[in-house]
Structure 1
């Protein structure tokens, strides 16, 4: 990993990759058409030759769908995936089959991804047979690969159930290497393993990467694992990549509130630590109707106030908290004094903002929670630049030389920040979602 980012050439180039899943209801579609599920929506990044790109994010954010779309295990709805200069989205038949020899995948569950009726040797040889490679040399190559991944070649005739979880994942790794690929997608390859075994498997993968010149797309939930193995990290939220930077840069200088929340949630292995872990408020919006502008805005602790209001930071924080509490009805409204004490102990903001808050409190006290929520949403959340424009910026790197991308409007006025325009964050025409 001594080679710098600039010294490498892109092996994989992903441009505005989109994968939407239809919600077909058969004959009723004509009467009640359903919006598609936007699992991956306009993702763009490169993976350099010989590097490991880590991909992180909450469950359901689209990581695995992105991985399968990159390999054409599912067809993209739009966009392009270039591998060695060829667009996989345009290939089919024998051309796609030939290109797939250069791409392999390691799945999350090492047991279910191995055929229990086959012995280990034939499992490793199967890709060679599928692509017509190494005829007459397959057993020798399978035994050699088993040894390279840390297994005994004499286990060639054993069945998968005779191995531990870590050993089974090494078998998957040997199978992926069987056709000498350039690019391997690793979909949470160590999440099902004991912590004591994870480091051993990761170290083996790094050794093999150096020996065979491999390029990895490495998906994981564990940010500590990503920090150990990745050269760069892409952070994904609700179908979009919201931040992309070199590993040290991202961990030491996060530039997106969602990334900061993920890093704050990492457990501290010290029983004396009294700090609280970062917890995001609210639920992830539906990928069927994602929020307009920045998709993270409905949960963002740093949502930007609309330009027409001149509230202080404390006043805006109080309005933001009240807006979300009304939407989720998380408090009892027994009287105005109770509401004011809970959210506005220092009084309402001045001007139009205070008038909107006062009207919303009146609605809440009258039991019209929905009207109060609509008023607050229309006056504050939907008027923010976070709702009106798709964020896509590059910012100055402090701990690396590679480009640091952050899809957050907090950088719109910073010196050195460059607006990349559409294609990195969410589609700016997406329908607004509730805060």
Structure 2
């Protein structure tokens, strides 16, 4: 019977560079290109990532854009100012109210009617925008849980987001693409009984936000999966032009609702959550999730104050007409103007050029937060594990309608 040869692993004895023993010479590192996406146009959208890897380590990431071809800016040149609003809805379709609010304020500033907007109109605008902010953050957090393997938080957040969508549908008749905020006013006043139903929803939502923190944000597995991953230092975030929750997660207290003090935000009390590295390093994936979760609580505070004023000093009046100062014809004087606001993703700005003769802008350029924030992905991903790329990508919270505009 032949003697069996016993093999024993000896790391010191093993020498993979001996040509005589292995016959292949020195083993060399070989890079491999992996295509991630594009996926179905939902959540992170039709984004293609060309990933160069060395084994499990990422060498480079190249985002390839242009799969939606919304052509927003070219459409805007062929449409009157009020006709552009439905196209604004479709940029970041998760935050249509916020998009409309910022766009309309920009056009109103061109027309010089900002100070003429009734207070009730302004409070309604902020109310629906903050409801939409919560709905957007619920999608960001819920789908992020799915990205890293947690199913239950997604179901819970979609359940609560559905209540918000029903409220907004009650306001304007549309589920996601609203065309509710108009230049100079609103499509219609709040439905009778809306304030009461919205208050009941907020009372329902408060304990749910606490449950979400315990279920997802403070979950041990979630913390280990996101803490110290995709760390974005504050100086790097500033250099890349990052805004919104991503910038605040890196420790900078910068929110345009406070910095630019537009609409009625200066009259409202709310905090600006910033990342502090509680579970890892300031500016990591966990901090970005935590900031979004805390912003939902701050939006609840804003909504409560708006409801209080809408039922108090600026309560419903039979003579109130939300379209009273909506201009019949929008023709701004010749000028160039840039207006920005705080969308759930970050700074959303619109640059207008008007010649003073046409009802259409010569140029309408959008500065979208998703596009700018996505630019940081290669810098955050280089040198990390391939599995962490998914966690980093999800923490950026992009919507490709706003990227491929």
* TM-score bracket for this pair, using the shorter chain length: under 0.3
TM-score by length of 1: 0.21
The structure richer in helix per residue is: 2
The structure richer in strand per residue is: 1
Relative contact order, CA 8 A, sep 6+: which one is greater? 2
